[in-house]
Amino acid sequence: MTPRVVIITGGSRGLGAGIVDSFLANGDIVATCSRSATDRTERWAADPATADRFLFAAVDIVDSAAAAAFVGEVVTRFGRVDILVNNAGIARDGMIAVALEEDIDTVLDLNLRATFVMTRLVTRRMLRQGSGSIVNISSVVGTAGYRGLSIYSATKAGLDGFTRSLARELGSRGITVNSVAPGYLRTEMSHGLDEAQLNQIARRTPAGRLGEPEDIGSVVVFLTSPAAGFITGQTIVVDGGLTA
Ligand code: NAP
């Protein structure tokens, strides 16, 4: 199979880095961005096994012009975009009654607005190509809710709605759009939860553990494969049975 060109936002660490690994292991070409480089992005760029099919750019995707320049750089280097994984996201813990407006803006601007802008940019190319796959990373809290995460949860529910409408808009043009809703993963984002809360979540999870980035990465790769060509507009929950 010809390697596909994949854009993954926020692939420098955490879940995004796991998704980068999954696509690189699948033989695809991966471009990712985040505000800062990490050891992992430097390793992929230097490793002879991945260097010629990996691109990292330090980009804050909330800056629409910078996001557009990044997509342009990907197309200049690799010629097309086949897959977009909207992974970059941020959470701000806290009860709504004391939430700061700047925190509300930060969460909305990245989780929703920047995702819409990035999708708009990439969709224009996919429409010209007549094919593509988009995967939005939402969360089980978008449907199940979580005390202290109301704003973040609302953005994740919003992403699932975005997925459903976009699937209807793009289905006839050969483009699939799905959400993957992970349960709880041990990444920097979950550092707001203490060890006791994480252990409690693991105990309540039928699989008996928290999720790992590769649990999610394999599902994202599947959703972009020809085998999943008839799946669109769905939210696939990957949570070890937590919300079953
Ligand atoms: P994380 O460890 O905090 O990583 C977030 C990634 O996004 C980093 O690469 C970060 O790099 C990048 N990023 C943040 N702000 C950015 C911006 N403005 N522009 C570009 N890149 C930006 O988070 P994670 O746990 O891997 O979460 C990844 C996704 O999974 C998120 O959408 C999250 O909501 C979702 N999720 C996570 C969990 C969980 O339990 N962790 C559960 C369900 C869903 P920089 O900081 O350098 O920009």
Catalytic residue among 23, 56, 78, 152: 152
Nearest atom of ligand 1 to the alpha carbon of 91? 34
Give the chain's radius of gyration (CA, Å).
17
Q: Is 14 in the pocket of ligand 1 (CB under 6 A)?
A: yes
24-53 pLDDT tens trace: 999 999 999 999 999 999 999 999 999 999
Q: Is the pTM of this model over 0.75?
A: yes
Phi and psi (nearest 5°) for 62?
-65, -25
Find tokens 């699989």 and name the residue.
Answer: 207
Q: Is 177 in the pocket of ligand 1 (CB under 6 A)?
A: no
73-91 pLDDT tens trace: 999 999 999 999 999 999 9
146 catalytic? Reply is no
